[in-house]
A and B are shown apart, each in its own frame.
Chain A
């Protein structure tokens, strides 16, 4: 398997522009997570999906951020309009937790990230 795929790897844009980040999870994984990483705040969970359905978006900073998962193999994170404070590395991760009774690992597999710079 190719692992979690993210695109683009780097994005430089000007304030006010729309930015779309893309993620392809590992085939068979039914959970997908979007994280934002900055030096100040560390690794923040923005939103996660289970079986393509958004479960918890409490980490989405404001209405300028939106995320979709139209099918099991694709998700997008959109920022419109973008602002300089949105500059960060955005990671997508996927996992497939075992049944509760199995007590097994639910390791998250991270993509390589998208480094976003908003000027």
Chain B
């Protein structure tokens, strides 16, 4: 039941855009996105609730397609500070209040 993230790794030049995808085989209530820098704890970016909404955080936004049980994270005009590993976490319908995280997508931004 672990969500699947793609791609596993991305290398970008500063200013380029990226999309990270997250898909689940289970009906979802919410999708969470976190970013983790090397040697640090994961930090919350945003949560999307079922309803297909889109959210934004600086130049980072995300969408949630509940019919397909998929979410995408969009990084626009990437900055050096965006480097890190991005995790999606999924919460199933029924709200058992636990989040199952994907294996992460490593993002490296080159100057």
A interface residues (Cβ-Cβ under 8 A, vs B): 31, 33, 35, 41-45, 48, 50, 55-56, 91, 97, 100, 103, 105-113
Contacts and interface: CB of A to CB of B under 8 A. Distances in A.
B18 interface: no
Contact of A110 (B2, B41, B47, B97): B41
Given A105-B47, A110-B43, A42 B99 contact: no
A110 B103 CA distance: 17
A100 B104 contact: no
Interface residues of B, number: 20
Q: Which of B40, B87, B99 has the most CB of A within 10 A?
A: B99
Given A103-B49, A110-B43, A50 B87 contact: no
Contacts of A107: 32, 44, 47
A106 to B, nearest CB: 7
B97 A31 contact: yes
Contacts of B64: none
Contact of B98 (A43, A48, A112): A48
A10 to B, nearest CB: 12
Contacts of A35: 101
